[in-house]
Homo-oligomer: A and B are copies of this chain.
């Protein structure tokens, strides 16, 4: 699924991502606490983006907290450490599918089924880097998101 929308063994996705997060946190002395881990699991459950309040609703049912700061703190931690990305276009959050690798994510968002797929790029290569260089601009972070239709939804949406 790093490459696209095709079917895959998603339980492996989840397991790998959790293991990567755990070992990274262990090595960096970061605390992957119960709530943080659970938020990551929820985001890994599907290749979709979830809103903070959707996540909070689940946490609340599970007795892990009821107030917005609970989920925003967990998300802050997960985003800061590269396990989760914020999808700016959706004001929503999506588990990283390339954890551990330093990378600049590029998202493809299906506006019909809400699937979100993450690809990678080199930010300083290609158009953006050229434009930034021409302008003398120093890039620190990038937001690159494409909204459209995934292959499945294209089939089911006759032109």
A89 adjacent to chain B (CB < 8 Å): yes
Minimum CB–CB distance for A110 against chain B, Å:
8
Hey, which chain B residues are within 8 Å of A3, CB to CB?
A: 134-135
A108 vs B123: C-alpha distance when bound (angstroms): 13
Instruction: Tell which of B5, B106, B139, B150 touches A148, judged by Cβ atoms closer than 8 Å.
Output: B139
A70 adjacent to chain B (CB < 8 Å): no
A108-B135, A137-B148, A141-B148 are known contacts; what are 20 more A-B pairs with Cβ within 8 Å? A4-B137, A5-B135, A88-B88, A88-B89, A106-B131, A117-B137, A122-B127, A125-B127, A126-B127, A132-B146, A135-B150, A135-B151, A136-B150, A136-B154, A137-B151, A139-B147, A140-B148, A141-B147, A142-B147, A143-B146
Hey, which chain B residues are within 8 Å of A110, CB to CB?
A: 137
A80 adjacent to chain B (CB < 8 Å): no
Q: How many copies does the complex hold?
A: 2
A149 adjacent to chain B (CB < 8 Å): yes
Contacts A143-B88, A146-B142; is A137 near B108 (CB within 8 Å)? yes
| Pairwise interchain contact B131-A140, C-beta atoms closer than 8 A | no
Minimum CB–CB distance for A157 against chain B, Å:
9
List residues 105-122 of chain A with CB under 8 A from any CB of chain B.
106, 108, 110-111, 117, 119, 121-122
A26 adjacent to chain B (CB < 8 Å): no
Q: Which B residue's beta carbon lies closest to that of A152?
A: B136
A41 adjacent to chain B (CB < 8 Å): no
| Pairwise interchain contact B144-A132, C-beta atoms closer than 8 A | no
